[in-house]
A and B are shown apart, each in its own frame.
Chain A
Amino acid sequence: MPLFADPLSLYWTVTDLTRYLRRLLEDDEALRDLWVEGEVSNLSRPSSGHLYFTLKDAGAALRCVMWRRDVARLRPNLHDGMAVVVHGYISIYESGGQYQLYADFVRPLGEGALYQEFLRLKALLEAEGLFDAERKRSLPSLPKRIGVVTSPTGAALRDILNTLRRRFPLAEVILSPSPVQGDEAPPALVEALARLNALEPPPDVILLARGGGSIEDLWAFNDERVVRAVASSAVPVITGVGHETDFTLVDFAADLRAPTPTAAAELATPVTLADLALALQNLTARAETAVQRSLSRRREGLIALNDRMERASPLRRLQVERQRLDELARRGLAAMGHRLELYETRLEGMRERLISLDPMSVLKRGFSVLTRPSDGRVVSRVEQVSAGDVLRARVSDGTFAVRVTDGE
């Protein structure tokens, strides 16, 4: 719940505040299941069939509502001024802005000496601290041995055994039988509790139970000896006496109070066989997953190593060498081809130059070459001849003789 219902606003709305308060009250364990003692006043029975009244004592007043469904079971009818103890829970009637007790059960008070005795003893034991919250012990979640104190012939035992069989048959039940009503019941209950506590090893938890009945039927569970035996039991005690609406003094002294014998057996076995089976299934699945993962991790490692081995193998190097050789050969051939081409080109150039130098081609263009017949040398300068010399002239298709007519 945010501090402010609307983050942009510094103000509660009435509805949000009321709802917030209602949740506070409804979340409070103590207010969910309580008994309130007081005097009925302002009783009103509208046609809706619901019952509205105020419960008051000398110091305060408490608005109460009882729905039609519960009113139908109400015995006897209520009237103003009646002293009662009311069972229900506290919540808020939002549109009226009223906190009130939503009652589901009303028991008239002042019904004789029994109830007075109940209140007297309750106050006495409470003052001694027997009911203190700090005395309550936590219960084992997986009890191996469950002690049961009840009548061996009652419905309570059948309900308890059925519930334990259904929820947690791993436990061993140790029945410590005792009568649960009548004058012999209180000492027998004390003895039955003592027998369980004396076991070696003692049970992990004790269920003290009895089916429903009148206030007189349940009276043994208000007996001071029994209440003290419950309070002093070394083994934690869960009580399940009567119905939801019955409260006995052993309930206050017990480590945990269950509304019925069946509920007591349920509270004694918070973890069921089905819960265990589920946990086992989960654990088994985890083991399989872990092994699968470990195997596949190793498999992957193996594959990676195989790859590396292949890469490092001599065969692989041989291939590489072969490839390098091929490459070299290819490069060699290429280089050779290159060089041949170069030679050919050069040769061609040379040939062209040669052709250009062929004297025949000059002669064909009309030039001629003179040679001295005496030594066969080509005449290229004036000083080589004198007047009267006979020279041989060469033209493109043959030679003939010529005479020098002047000269130096």
Chain B
Amino acid sequence: MSEKPIEELTYEEAFAELEMIVNALEAEQHSLEEAMALFERGQALSKRCADLLDQAELKVRRLSGEAFSAEEE
């Protein structure tokens, strides 16, 4: 399991780890304590993913080329 702080995970990383955790939970092979810890992390990951989706705003970067007028809306 990644030890990266959750706030630093990209959507793909967070989603992949969440998927792994869900698979592990569904396999029911962990102790209760471990399972609860996994679940807690899963919830945090899920929230991280949801936040990323909610906050997603298209970032537009422009390569320096000819001098065109600035970005349109």
Contacts and interface: CB of A to CB of B under 8 A. Distances in A.
Interface of A: 142, 152-153, 157-158, 161, 164-165, 169-179, 188, 191-192, 195-196, 199, 273, 276-277, 279-280, 283-284, 286-287, 290-291, 293-295, 297-298
B6 interface: no
B28 A165 contact: no
B63 A177 contact: yes
Contact of A280 (B25, B53, B71): B53
Contacts, number: 110
Contact of B18 (A142, A171, A283): A283
Contacts of B72: 152-153, 157-158
Interface in B44-68: 46, 49-50, 52-53, 56-63, 65-66, 68
A170 B50 contact: no
B32 interface: yes
Interface of B: 11-12, 15, 18-19, 21-22, 25-26, 28, 32, 35-36, 39, 42-43, 46, 49-50, 52-53, 56-63, 65-66, 68-69, 71-72
Nearest to A162: B58
Nearest to A155: B72
B60 to A, nearest CB: 5
A172 B63 CA distance: 13
Contacts of B39: 287, 290-291
Contacts of B65: 176-178, 191-192, 195
Contacts of A170: 11, 52-53, 56
Contact of A173 (B12, B25, B26, B60): B60
26 contacts: A152-B68, A152-B69, A157-B72, A161-B58, A164-B58, A165-B57, A169-B57, A172-B61, A174-B60, A175-B63, A176-B65, A177-B65, A178-B65, A192-B63, A196-B63, A276-B15, A280-B15, A280-B18, A280-B53, A283-B46, A284-B43, A291-B36, A291-B39, A294-B25, A294-B28, A294-B32
Contacts of A196: 63
A276 B61 contact: no
Given A287-B18, A294-B32, A298-B32, A280 B60 contact: no
